[in-house]
Amino acid sequence: MKKRIQSFVYAGRGIRLVGSEPNMRIHVIVAILVVIFGFFFDISITEWISCLLCIGLVFSAEMINTAIENVVDLVSPNYNELAAKAKDIAAGAVLISAIISVIIGLLIFLPKVWNLL
């Protein structure tokens, strides 16, 4: 039981550590705005699920990207083409998840904004 509790402590530490990353701060700000707009526009439960899944996807992708960057920097402190590829691919995964999330956000919120006009 103690090991299981400790694993949650380590996971919490990981969440706190990634919070200092500049890109994660941007993701957090956007997520807060999405939640505010979700309440303002009274989005449906299905739309909430979509938004929360997108937020979770982008946060998770950013955390995995940060972990990969840290490991690559640890094992390859000097420039290495394969290390650069690994970091670029991980960053690309974050970009894809963010782009898809923006598209989903536009599909949810654009009609609601349009109806206000």
Q: Active-site residues: which are they? A: 62
Do the Cβ atoms of 84 and 70 come closer than 8 Å? no
Q: Which two tokens stand for residue 81?
A: 């083409």
Distance of alpha carbon 27 from alpha carbon 63, whole angstroms: 11
The number of C-alpha atoms within 13 Å of 97 and in the hemisphere containing its C-beta is 23
Residue type, 28: V
Do the Cβ atoms of 82 and 11 come closer than 8 Å? no
